[in-house]
Amino acid sequence: MEEDDDENGEEAQEYDADGNPVDDDEMVELQDDSVQGFFTHKEPVYDVALHPVHQNIAVSGGGDDKSYLWRLYDGEQLYEFGGHSDSVTQVAFSVDGTYVASGSMDGKVRVWKSETGEFVCELEGPDEVVWINWHPKGNIILAGATDSSVWMWAVPSGAFMNVFNGHSGPVTSGMFTPDGKKIVTVSEDASLIVWDPKTASAVHRITSEDARFHSDVITCLAINKESTLAMTGSADGTAKLVNIHSGNILGSFENHTDAVETVSFSDHLNLAATGSLDGRLNIWDVQTMQLRTTCEHKGPIIKAQWHKTQPLITSCSADRSVQVWDGRTGQNLKIWLGHQDAVLSFAMTDDGLTCVTGSDDGCALVFRMVDN
């Protein structure tokens, strides 16, 4: 950082992804483990997603105000999706992959048919869209906004269904429960709300007035596959476990020294993960609330996600790497390098063998698990 430059005006020492000092006088050959890439954005790639059925198809959204549908195996662009006037920070496929949506800082959600690239509808209502989430069983989409509201629409008609008002700050994360029966949202105002999607009424509300809950901005949210537990991560450095049905706070995960940026439940083991700006990925036993193991990046962790079919977890970081860990032991199984700036997002194929990434360097890359 420029603020760290010394009094002689010399720049602070830079380090590569392995933590080695970079010598400006030498041409450093960057390690690139990727097998393919998509390079059209030329601006930060904020989000990536994989088609749920045809997992050789990806969508990426970026700072060029566009999203693109492209093929993993050859990097070939299939469709360009425009129409936004600000950065596309969220992209997502509907549950069966029929539709693909983009959410933008311009306050709009735009939807296309993934097979033909045909434009379907534009959804308006929020100011800046922070996140989007499709219903797990139908063509209904949610969007959370910086103006503290959450909106729900039907696709393909684009019909407005409900608006959820109850937070007093930007809605940082939210989603349908996996069974589709509830909505859970969290906010910068340090509150969590469980909603009834049909009536838009709050079923449970937890705020910072409860001393057991967060004292600062809630940054992230995860829900277990049984739709019974929610996990929240916060700038206060803790994660909380909440019973969705009762609204009770079950406990607190406390081991980080900086903000928790990502949380994730394992579908197979009674484990959950918290990733922090402190560079640590902590694996917790959900039953006992005990810390099982810690995995470490050389920079802030931005996202972590358990694999669908294995007890493995992938994480990406500002250290420019994507890493795969055994969630049971914390053993590092893979380090993927190739990006020249922070890795902002990734998506894994269901078999856990292929990872697509988006980075501040303007590129989306494809990595594949191979035996060393």
Evaluate whether 38 touches 364 at the Cβ level (below 8 Å). Answer: yes
How far is the C-alpha of 149 from the C-alpha of 343, rounded, in Å?
28
| pLDDT value of position 18 | 61
How far is the C-alpha of 200 from the C-alpha of 197, rounded, in Å?
5
CATH among 3.40.50.261, 2.120.10.30, 2.130.10.10, 3.30.565.10 for 36-159? 2.130.10.10
Residue 99: both structure tokens together: 């539709």
| pLDDT value of position 370 | 79
Beta pairing class for 312-317 and 301-306:
antiparallel
| pLDDT value of position 262 | 98
Give the mean pLDDT of the chain: 93
**Could you identify the residue written with the tokens 């859970």?**
184
Residue 3 confidence class, pLDDT cut points 50, 70, 90: very low
Q: Which residues contact 199 (CB under 8 A, 6 or more apart)?
A: none
Q: How does pLDDT run across 103-116, given as a tens digit for each residue?
A: 999 999 999 999 99
| pLDDT value of position 30 | 81
- pLDDT at residue 85 above 90? yes
What percentage of the chain exceeds 70 in pLDDT?
92
Residue 91: exposure state from Cβ atoms within 10 A (0-12, 13-18, ≥19): buried
Residue 63 confidence class, pLDDT cut points 50, 70, 90: very high
Q: Which residues contact 115 (CB under 8 A, 6 or more apart)?
A: 98
Q: Which residues contact 363 (CB under 8 A, 6 or more apart)?
A: 37, 38, 39, 41, 45, 339, 340
pTM over 0.85: yes
**Distance, first Cα to last Cα, the chain:** 36
Residue range 289-297: mean pLDDT, rounded = 97
| pLDDT value of position 13 | 57
Q: How does pLDDT run across 9-35, given as a tens digit for each residue?
A: 444 556 565 666 555 544 446 899 999
Across 45-83, b (16+ Cβ under 10 Å) vs e yields bbbbbbbbeebebbbbbbbbbbbbbbbbeebeeebebeb
Residue 372 confidence class, pLDDT cut points 50, 70, 90: very low
- pLDDT at residue 335 above 80? yes
| pLDDT value of position 5 | 41
| pLDDT value of position 219 | 98
Residue type, 357: T
| pLDDT value of position 17 | 57
Q: How does pLDDT run across 239-277, given as a tens digit for each residue?
A: 999 999 999 999 999 999 999 999 999 999 999 999 999
Residue of 280, 334, 320, 336 whose CA lies nearest to 304: 280
| pLDDT value of position 15 | 57
Q: How does pLDDT run across 136-163, given as a tens digit for each residue?
A: 999 999 999 999 999 999 999 999 999 9
| pLDDT value of position 11 | 47
| pLDDT value of position 29 | 63
| pLDDT value of position 125 | 87
- pLDDT at residue 326 above 90? yes
How far is the C-alpha of 372 from the C-alpha of 365, rounded, in Å?
20
